[in-house]
Amino acid sequence: MKTVEIILGFFGFAAAQAPRPTMPGTVDTMSKFREEYGTFVPDSIKLFSPFRDNVITMVSLGLKENGFSRRDIRIALEDIFTHGCHCSWNKGRHAVDKTHHFVDELDEDCLNFDHCVNCLKMDKCNIDTLEFSPLVEKNKPASCENLSGDDCQYNTCLCSTNLAQTILEKILRTNPDPFNALSFSQFHDECMKRDPIDVNTQMRKPKTNSGAERQCCGAYPNRKPFTYKPDGQACCAGKSIFQQKDEHCCSSGEIFKIGEVC
């Protein structure tokens, strides 16, 4: 499995921060990794389960390594984690529709992280309390290799490290342009899944047993959930999702249109 790495500096001192008030989606104690390396994470950023806490911590380390001041790190983290439908962790907002809607490229990255996390849950990982610490050494890239003996720790690390790297790259590319937060009304309009106005919710057809099953496909950190149907979506060679009505899967893992030869 491909290792995802981030170049981070080593900051070997603890972040002595007291527990803070929580809201839905947050916790009252920081992850062990954030406790050790989160000195540059501001108090305005709430505490989360380790898989999110560690993303925030790695981004802060990466920004510090790239010369950001404490003030600039605070502004960047506040901008990122109040942004869009899927990145707005610090506002305690959670978009209902995890299928496809996002407001921009950064929001899509956070949505892909949600997909990665959902697959961890489907793969029986208790990620809400699972502690993991990427290997961080001075002048060396942070790595998940130290966690390879535990599939749940290793794969959770891959999900979190991948998002942290992606966010860091976007901050460095767009600085000083901010990532704007959505107001409550904008979040509701942009992100909350609603039934079409002409649908009579009292007259919905009952669901039938069509053989549909929620599954995951792909390798971490790009693993995604999908709904398998005998005549719908399926996973090709454990790598990619394809449409069985229009495509077929070759033993090599390549996907071709019906009628095309592998």
The model's confidence at residue 229, banded by pLDDT at 50, 70 and 90, is: confident
pLDDT in tens, 84-96: 888 989 887 665 5
Neighbours of 45 (CB within 10 A): 23
Pairwise pLDDT comparison (103 vs 80), residue with the higher score: 80
Give me the sign of the Cα torsion angle 149, 163, 107, 185: positive
What is the per-residue pLDDT for 178? 56
pLDDT in tens, 172-226: 887 545 565 555 455 555 676 544 433 333 444 445 556 788 999 999 999 999 9
- Kindly report the average pLDDT of the chain as a whole number: 80
What is the per-residue pLDDT for 132? 97
Long-range contacts of 24-29 (CB under 8 A, 24+ apart): 24/92, 25/89, 25/92, 25/94, 26/92
166: left (phi over 0), alpha (psi -120 to 50) or beta: alpha
* Range with the largest mean pLDDT of 5-19, 100-114, 148-162: 148-162
Q: What percent of the chain has pLDDT over 70?
A: 72
| pTM recorded for the entire structure | 0.79
What is the per-residue pLDDT for 139? 61
Pairwise pLDDT comparison (160 vs 179), residue with the higher score: 160
Burial 188-201 (b: 16+ CB within 10 A, else e): eebbeeeeeeeeee
